[in-house]
């Protein structure tokens, strides 16, 4: 089979104006970024249509090195829905340069289920990530200047919370000293997070419009002064300049798939260290024009889907009609303790054992009141007998099952999944979304409800620093914010080596970060880092420009 990049290059793209026209977007609302990319002003959102149309969430089992292909399933489902005559749109996150040049090499789908132009989407795209990085670091520079100017005054800063960000994986920047040398500002300890973990990214993805964006930016707490009073962006009087840097980025990006299905791609927080969903604005824009809108939440259902429901849907008033859980036989076998190099070999017993991980995610999605179907993302080594085993298991659980073969066949290979999704939505009345916790629960109760009811932890403990911050948040009257847990994506626990469905484990809250602008409380579990490092063999060594063509992206 051809490589992803070969397939992408051979795909016949329609002009973006044609894609927009097919959706019903007036030409005055198309802001072109070349021939095949455009931005659409968020003013086109129609809340009545948002409520009327069908939102579908794609999530997954716990990821492994075998891969799951959640984005391929999301794009494939949109292709399949269009194949059966439905007006479908896919809404996804923008890829980060960190994993593109680190582990993954790209995040635009795969095979014949890709969003295009793939090279642009995976690289600088429309500059949204750079705008967010610049906005975040502009605040850092202006705050450093404020600290320098207020030394020795009653407004002197005692504690600094705000760091810098960069959209690369760079472990050397996790903890740094700034201000070295005479005349170079104030000597202080600082550090970098990756841009998808920036509070500006979270605000960008949760804001409903430019006014809400400004309000949230103003509320960002940067640190505390000598009197232990919070110092915000509003106190510095700089919110307007930060909004200016984001005024174009806030509009969602319109592109297309390998089969010219419309796709909105906007925002890109990670789900292990942030809330893992594309922007509310992009989702609502897609729902304004698409009868069926397929979106995804990062990593597995315990991280991405939980945050999608408890943070994004809670605050934006969204409610999916159905959740698709993506799985692979290879991933299931690894949860059945098979080494990665042996997953292509027949092993029904390991597959059966690994199904416990799938079952836990199904159980969790049902707790939210969601109707669930399972999409088995087919790989070349899959045996029909093993696919039948998973199908029989899902049917015994009362859960719909379909094989997704969009990677090899495009929309045709996703027709069974699309038909199952439509049939399931039409035959199951929509249920109110159930959240894991209530807004008025105390902070520790919210954290423990997630850890015990979703992850399966036996106990939750807190560091002294976490306890102190929780008390400060409660005293400030911000305890009703939702919780965003930063935790390894490879396990229900905080130990990435504990695959399957571990039990009886303890989760330790090492730190608490108040994101007062994005209005959520980040609980950092164990040794989770908000700036990833590069692997031993980064994808960057394979990325190159050869005869004017980009190589090494997928």
With a cut of 90, say whether residue 65 has pLDDT above it.
no
Element holding 9 (H helix, E strand): helix 4-10
Closest-CA residue to 117 (of 286, 314, 309, 253):
253
With a cut of 90, say whether residue 349 has pLDDT above it.
yes
Q: What is the pLDDT of residue 1?
A: 87
Question: What is the chain's mean pLDDT, rounded?
Answer: 96
With a cut of 90, say whether residue 159 has pLDDT above it.
yes
| 203 confidence band (pLDDT: 50, 70, 90) | very high
With a cut of 90, say whether residue 348 has pLDDT above it.
yes
Per-residue pLDDT of 465-518, as tens digits, reads: 999 999 999 999 999 999 999 999 999 999 999 999 999 999 999 999 999 999
| 323 confidence band (pLDDT: 50, 70, 90) | very high
Q: What is the pLDDT of residue 402?
A: 98
pTM above 0.75, yes or no: yes
Structure letter (DSSP) for residue 209: S
| Residue 189 token pair | 């300890």
With a cut of 90, say whether residue 527 has pLDDT above it.
no
Report whether 204 contacts 250 (CB < 8 A): yes
Q: What is the pLDDT of residue 15?
A: 98
| 154 confidence band (pLDDT: 50, 70, 90) | confident
Q: What is the pLDDT of residue 103?
A: 87
Residue 398 has a CB neighbour count (10 Å cut-off) of 9
Pairing of strands 157-160, 221-225: antiparallel
Per-residue pLDDT of 432-475, as tens digits, reads: 999 999 999 999 999 999 999 999 999 999 999 999 999 999 99
Residue written as token pair 């930060």: 242
| 266 confidence band (pLDDT: 50, 70, 90) | very high
Per-residue pLDDT of 375-391, as tens digits, reads: 999 999 999 999 999 99
Please state the rounded mean pLDDT for residues 134-153: 96
């Amino acid at each position: 089979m051809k490589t992803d990049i070969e397939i992408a290059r051979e795909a016949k793209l329609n002009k973006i104006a044609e894609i927009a026209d097919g959706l019903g977007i007036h030409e005055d609302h198309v802001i072109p970024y070349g021939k095949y990319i455009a931005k659409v002003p968020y003013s086109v959102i129609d809340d009545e249509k948002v409520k009327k149309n069908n939102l579908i969430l794609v999530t997954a089992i716990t990821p492994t090195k075998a891969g799951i292909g959640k984005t391929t399933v999301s794009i494939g489902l949109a292709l399949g829905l269009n194949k059966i005559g439905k007006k479908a749109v896919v809404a996804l996150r923008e890829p980060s340069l960190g994993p593109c040049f680190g582990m993954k090499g790209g995040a635009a789908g795969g095979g014949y289920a890709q969003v295009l132009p793939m090279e642009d989407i995976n690289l600088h795209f429309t500059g949204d990530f750079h705008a967010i990085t610049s906005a975040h670091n502009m605040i850092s520079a202006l705050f450093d200047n404020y600290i320098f100017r207020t030394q020795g005054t009653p407004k002197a800063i005692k504690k600094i919370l705000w760091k810098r960000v960069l959209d690369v994986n760079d472990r050397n920047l996790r903890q740094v000293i700034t201000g070295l040398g005479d005349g170079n500002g104030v000597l202080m300890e600082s550090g970098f997070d990756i841009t998808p973990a920036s509070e500006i990214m979270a605000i960008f993805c949760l804001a409903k419009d430019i006014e809400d964006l400004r309000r949230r930016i103003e509320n960002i707490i940067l640190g505390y002064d000598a009197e232990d009073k919070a110092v915000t962006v509003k106190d510095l009087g700089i919110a307007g300049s930060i909004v200016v840097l984001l005024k174009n980025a806030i509009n969602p990006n319109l592109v297309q798939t390998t089969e010219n299905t419309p796709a909105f791609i906007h925002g890109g927080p990670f789900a292990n260290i942030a809330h893992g969903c594309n922007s509310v604005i992009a989702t609502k824009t897609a729902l304004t024009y698409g009868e069926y809108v397929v979106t995804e939440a990062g990593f597995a259902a315990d991280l991405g889907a939980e945050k999608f429901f408890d943070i994004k849907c809670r605050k934006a008033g969204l409610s999916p009609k159905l959740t698709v859980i993506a799985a692979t036989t290879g991933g299931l076998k690894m949860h059945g303790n098979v080494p990665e190099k042996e997953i292509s070999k027949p092993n029904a017993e390991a597959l059966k054992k690994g199904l416990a991980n799938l079952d836990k995610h199904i159980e969790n999605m049902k707790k939210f009141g969601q109707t669930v179907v399972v999409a088995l993302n087919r790989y070349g080594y899959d045996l029909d007998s093993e696919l039948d085993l998973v199908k029989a298991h899902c049917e015994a659980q009362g859960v719909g099952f379909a094989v997704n073969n969009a990677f090899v066949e495009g929309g045709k290979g996703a027709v069974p999944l699309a038909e199952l999704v439509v049939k399931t939505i039409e035959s199951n009345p929509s249920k109110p979304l159930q959240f894991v916790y209530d807004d008025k629960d105390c902070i520790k109760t919210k954290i423990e409800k997630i850890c015990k009811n979703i992850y399966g932890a036996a106990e939750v403990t807190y560091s002294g620093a976490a306890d102190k911050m929780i008390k400060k948040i409660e005293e400030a009257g911000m305890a009703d914010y939702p919780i965003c847990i930063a935790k390894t994506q490879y396990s229900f626990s905080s130990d990435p080596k504990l695959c399957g469905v571990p039990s009886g484990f303890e989760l330790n809250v090492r730190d608490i970060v108040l994101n007062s602008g994005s209005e959520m409380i980040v609980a950092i579990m164990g040794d989770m880092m908000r700036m990833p490092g590069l692997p031993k063999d980064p994808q960057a060594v394979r990325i190159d420009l050869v005869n004017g063509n980009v190589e090494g992206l997928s």
